[in-house]
Structures are given as C-alpha cells and as structure tokens.
C-alpha cells in the first residue's frame, strides 16, 4: 500500500483533483484545489497515476456538505461538495483553459459565466434505473460511476419533486408486477431503466419504460396503474433497447397511455416533446441562453435565418418572429416532424424545416435572395465536421451564432471559421448543469 501526501492544484474534466508530485500527475477523486491530503496509490501507468483519498489534512474553504448522500458514488453530480460560487469559478477557468489549449492563437474575450437560476431541482429530464433491496422490493437506483453496480436513492436533488415522486410511484407499482429488472452483467431481464421528463409549469410529466424485450401488454397495465397513482403523468411510452451496449434509448418507441406528447413552453412558444426529442434539461437557464442568442444576433426582418442542428425547432421558432424566414435543419426526422407541428400549433408561418444531415442540406442549398443570411449552429458534443464548416464558410452568412456544450470542439471549429473569414465575438458561458463540470457556451461570429 503506497501512501503519499499531495496538494491539489486543479480539477480535470471529471472533477478529479490534479496533484503534481515531481513529474508524476496524480488524479484524486473528491479533492479540491488548494487541499492537501493523504492518498493511497491505486493505479499507475506511463501517463498518470490514480489515487484514493484517505484523509484531507488541509481543507478548502469552498468545501461544503453535499445535499445528496450518494453524491460521491453516483457520479451524476461530481461538484456537489463545492460551494456554488466556487463551482462557477472552476467551470469558467476549466472551459477557458480547454479553449486556449485547443486554439493557442485565439485571443478570446471571455465573459463571466452566467449562473443557473436554480442550483438544485433544475433538471427536467432524468434516466433512473432500479434494484432489489434485501426484501426483494424494487427501489429507484443509479449506477455507481464506471461500474455495473447500483446504489439505491430516495431523492435525487437535481431533479424536481414531481420527478422524484413519479420515480417512487413507478418503483412501488413495479412491485405488483412480475417484470424482471435487466442486469447489465448477465444481460438478462426486461426493464433497463425509465426516462422521466417534466414540463416547466410542473403540470405534466412524461414516462418512458426502456426495455430489453417488448412486453407491451404488461407495460400497458403498468402504465395504467402508474397513471392512477400519479395523475400528472401526461404521456407514457415503452422504448425498446435490445442492444447490449449502454445506449440509453433504442430507436423504437411504443405509445402505452395518455397523450402522444409532453407539452411544454419556452419563452411563449409552445413545444410538443416526444421521447426521443432533444430538449435542454435546465428550462430556466435555457430561456436565458436563447434570449442571449436573440439579443446578440440583432436579427431584423431583412434576415433569412438557417438554424442548423435545430432539434424540435425551439430556437427556429423563437427567432422566426424577428426575421423574414427561418429554416431549421436536423438529421432526426421525428424531431423535424415535431418542429413542423410546433410551428403550426404556434401559428408561425415563416418557418420551415428539413429532415437532413446538415452537409446534405448545404450541398443542395442555393441562395439567390437579396436578404442577409444568418445562421445558428448548435451541434452535439463532437462539434461540426470540417466539411460542414467549409460549406458554411463558402455560403458566407453575415453572422453565425455558435451554441456549444463542449469548449474543446467549439475552439477547434472557431479555428476553421476564422480561416474562412470570421471573427469570434465574446465567449459567454452558461451554467446549464449545476453540480457538474459541464458548461454551455455561446459565441457570435461575424464575417470580416
């Protein structure tokens, strides 16, 4: 058992404390910058060493007691033991550093991160699994980080009261049915997990049973029983995920009970949400972020707007009333169907949507109108492809709003857009995911 005394100088992407001991880089889970601790070496390889925290001998003034008793094992909230002000500083510094490492030439104007209106109970969507207790009763649980083992919980502090209550109601209901829980190790059983969503008003929830095998009749009965216990559930689905992989949702959704969609509202626009739909998880912060995009883009009725990676069209519809026309593009056809329905239900007539890969869309897009072109791009974590950025640069919209959930790929893509003639404005970070290391960023790029 090798022990060491180390001092933490920063956090890595997984919120593990980084400690330098000579040339050795030691990662220690749970340690905060400025803290000194006794650690036990667990694993060593040529690049880094991992150690277990044994005792903190010098505590950070920013250390707080986590609200949640399983925060240190579940891995969902790896910053709950840090005061919120300090979380914001950590995230700001980390995101800035990631961008500077990726883009050493970039001279960025980083603005102070905008904190979340809610630090706890902010999530409108969660995946929850179940385990058996000693009496073989079904309990809501989360997977322990990097493991197939489960830890039961009563309350998840980042999800809403209704979502916690619904999760408990599902667990209690499941005890009356003979549905074996799926086991990731043996790959046997049926119910993998549930996905719970709640709308911003708190008057409607969606429940999705994610199963390894479709047992429709049984799940219709379970759905009805859950509805009786918890009438706020608007819509219940079964999703079939029969692969051994850890993918959370399969491709097929089967409607079981209630409405087809969960109805929500974003800054006055009503949106219908399906089980597969991408929708930001922190609704109040989402509105602040979208508002920021609108303000900074300074859109006018002389603008034709292209909203790439539009999902169910939330931003396309929000921007439509400020521009001549708004077009949303997303590769997921069901999201585009939803976006079209959302446009009709909101009486928005100057928005159109295309279910295509962004590269395929631009391949066939010819623009001859005199109106100014502007674009929003909001890609997944991996960012945009170089091919798409080349096409976009050639198209040459006057302004591009880039919304990103990954500072590294954002900086990489800015490098390419800079070479294509764009100048990046200030970088505004948003804390969309309190208690975690994740940040969202918005930057407006203007054609030189």
Ligand X SMILES: C[S@@+](CC[C@H](N)C(=O)[O-])C[C@H]1O[C@@H](n2cnc3c(N)ncnc32)[C@H](O)[C@@H]1O
In the set 35, 103, 330, 413, which binds ligand X (CB under 6 A)?
330
**Beta bridge partner(s), residue 306:** 327, 375
140 forms part of the interface with ligand X (CB under 6 A): no
In the set 163, 225, 335, 442, which binds ligand X (CB under 6 A)?
335
State the pairing for strand pair 440-447/399-404. Answer: antiparallel
Instruction: Name the minimum Å distance from CB 379 to ligand X.
Output: 6
Kindly identify the residues of this chain, within the stretch 259-288, that bind ligand X according to CB under 6 A.
278-280
Residue nearest to ligand X (CB): 311
Phi, psi of 335 (to 5 degrees): -65, -40
CA-to-CA separations, 214 to 67, 131, 206, 240, 323, in angstroms, rounded: 37, 20, 19, 6, 45
In the set 5, 66, 151, 331, which binds ligand X (CB under 6 A)?
331
Catalytically annotated residue among 74, 77, 195, 405: 405
78 forms part of the interface with ligand X (CB under 6 A): no
State the pairing for strand pair 303-308/36-44. Answer: unpaired
Q: Which is nearer to ligand X, 33 or 283 (CB)?
A: 283
Tokens (6 digits) for 216: 């429709």
Instruction: Name the minimum Å distance from CB 432 to ligand X.
Output: 11
Q: Which is nearer to ligand X, 48 or 278 (CB)?
A: 278
Task: Return the number of other C-beta atoms located less than 10 Å from residue 280's C-beta.
Answer: 23
Instruction: Name the minimum Å distance from CB 361 to ligand X.
Output: 8
215 forms part of the interface with ligand X (CB under 6 A): no
Q: Is 405 a catalytic residue?
A: yes
311 forms part of the interface with ligand X (CB under 6 A): yes
Distance CA 258, CA 174 (A): 19
Q: Which stretch binds ligand X (CB under 6 A): 72-80, 87-95, 292-300, 305-313?
A: 305-313
Instruction: Name the minimum Å distance from CB 93 to ligand X.
Output: 24
314 forms part of the interface with ligand X (CB under 6 A): yes
- The set of residues, in sequence order, having a beta carbon less than 8 Å from that of 366 and lying 6+ positions away, is none
315 forms part of the interface with ligand X (CB under 6 A): yes
Instruction: Name the minimum Å distance from CB 251 to ligand X.
Output: 13
Q: Which is nearer to ligand X, 229 or 296 (CB)?
A: 296
357 forms part of the interface with ligand X (CB under 6 A): yes
365 forms part of the interface with ligand X (CB under 6 A): no
Kindly identify the residues of this chain, within the stretch 372-431, that bind ligand X according to CB under 6 A.
378-380
Q: Which stretch binds ligand X (CB under 6 A): 210-218, 252-260, 325-333, 432-440?
A: 325-333
Q: Which stretch binds ligand X (CB under 6 A): 115-123, 197-205, 311-319, 340-348?
A: 311-319
Give the alpha-carbon dihedral of 64, 66, 67, 70, to 10 degrees. -170
Tokens (6 digits) for 206: 């969606």
Contacts with ligand X by CB under 6 A: the residue count is 18
Instruction: Name the minimum Å distance from CB 271 to ligand X.
Output: 9
Task: Return the number of other C-beta atoms located less than 10 Å from residue 350's C-beta.
Answer: 15
Q: Which stretch binds ligand X (CB under 6 A): 73-81, 330-338, 363-371, 391-399?
A: 330-338
Q: Which is nearer to ligand X, 234 or 274 (CB)?
A: 274
Instruction: Name the minimum Å distance from CB 294 to ligand X.
Output: 13
Distance CA 90, CA 27 (A): 16
Instruction: Name the minimum Å distance from CB 378 to ligand X.
Output: 4
439 forms part of the interface with ligand X (CB under 6 A): no
433 forms part of the interface with ligand X (CB under 6 A): no
332 forms part of the interface with ligand X (CB under 6 A): yes
CA-to-CA separations, 121 to 76, 82, 118, 434, in angstroms, rounded: 13, 17, 7, 10
Which residues are at the interface with ligand X (CB under 6 A)?
A: 278-280, 309-311, 314-315, 329-332, 335, 357-358, 378-380
Q: Give the active site residues.
A: 405
């Amino acid at each position: 058992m090798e022990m060491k005394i180390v001092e933490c100088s920063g956090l890595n992407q997984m919120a593990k404390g980084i400690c330098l001991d000579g040339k050795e880089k030691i990662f220690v889970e749970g340690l905060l910058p400025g803290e000194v601790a006794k650690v036990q070496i667990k694993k060593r390889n040529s690049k880094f060493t991992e150690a277990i925290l044994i005792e903190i001998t010098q505590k950070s003034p920013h250390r707080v007691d986590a609200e949640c008793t399983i925060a240190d094992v579940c891995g969902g909230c790896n910053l709950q033991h840090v005061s919120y002000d300090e979380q914001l500083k950590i995230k700001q510094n980390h995101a800035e550093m990631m961008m500077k490492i990726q883009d050493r030439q970039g001279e960025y104007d980083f603005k102070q991160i905008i904190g979340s209106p809610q630090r706890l109970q902010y999530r409108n969507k969660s995946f929850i699994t179940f385990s058996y207790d000693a009496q073989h009763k079904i309990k809501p649980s989360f997977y322990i980080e990097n493991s197939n083992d489960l830890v039961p919980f009563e309350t998840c502090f980042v999800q809403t009261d209704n979502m916690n209550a619904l999760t408990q109601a599902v667990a209690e209901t499941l005890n009356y049915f003979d549905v074996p829980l799926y086991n990731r190790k043996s790959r046997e059983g049926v119910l993998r997990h549930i996905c719970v969503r709640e709308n911003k008003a708190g008057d409607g929830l969606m429940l999705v049973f994610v199963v390894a095998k479709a047992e429709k009749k049984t799940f219709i009965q379970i759905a009805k029983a859950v509805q009786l216990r918890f009438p706020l559930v608007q819509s219940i689905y079964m999703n079939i995920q029969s692969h051994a992989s850890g993918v959370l949702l399969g491709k097929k959704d089967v409607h079981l009970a209630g409405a087809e969609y969960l109805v929500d509202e974003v800054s006055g626009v009503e949106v219908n949400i399906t089980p597969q739909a991408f929708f930001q998880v922190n609704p109040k912060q989402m509105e602040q972020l979208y508002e920021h995009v609108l303000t900074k883009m300074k859109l006018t009725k002389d603008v034709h707007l292209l909203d790439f990676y539009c999902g169910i069209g939330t931003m396309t519809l929000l921007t439509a009333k400020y521009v001549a026309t708004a077009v949303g593009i997303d590769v997921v056809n069901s999201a585009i169907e939803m976006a079209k329905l959302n446009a009709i239900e909101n009486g928005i007539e100057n928005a159109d949507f295309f279910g295509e890969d962004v590269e395929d869309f631009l391949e066939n897009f010819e623009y001859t109108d005199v109106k100014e072109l502007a674009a929003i791009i909001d890609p997944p974590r991996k960012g945009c492809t170089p091919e798409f950025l080349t096409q976009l640069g050639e198209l040459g919209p006057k302004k591009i709003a880039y919304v990103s959930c990954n500072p590294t790929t954002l900086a990489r893509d800015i490098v390419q857009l800079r070479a294509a003639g764009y100048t990046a404005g200030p970088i505004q970070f948003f804390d969309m995911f309190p208690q975690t290391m994740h940040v969202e960023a918005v930057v407006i790029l203007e054609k030189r």
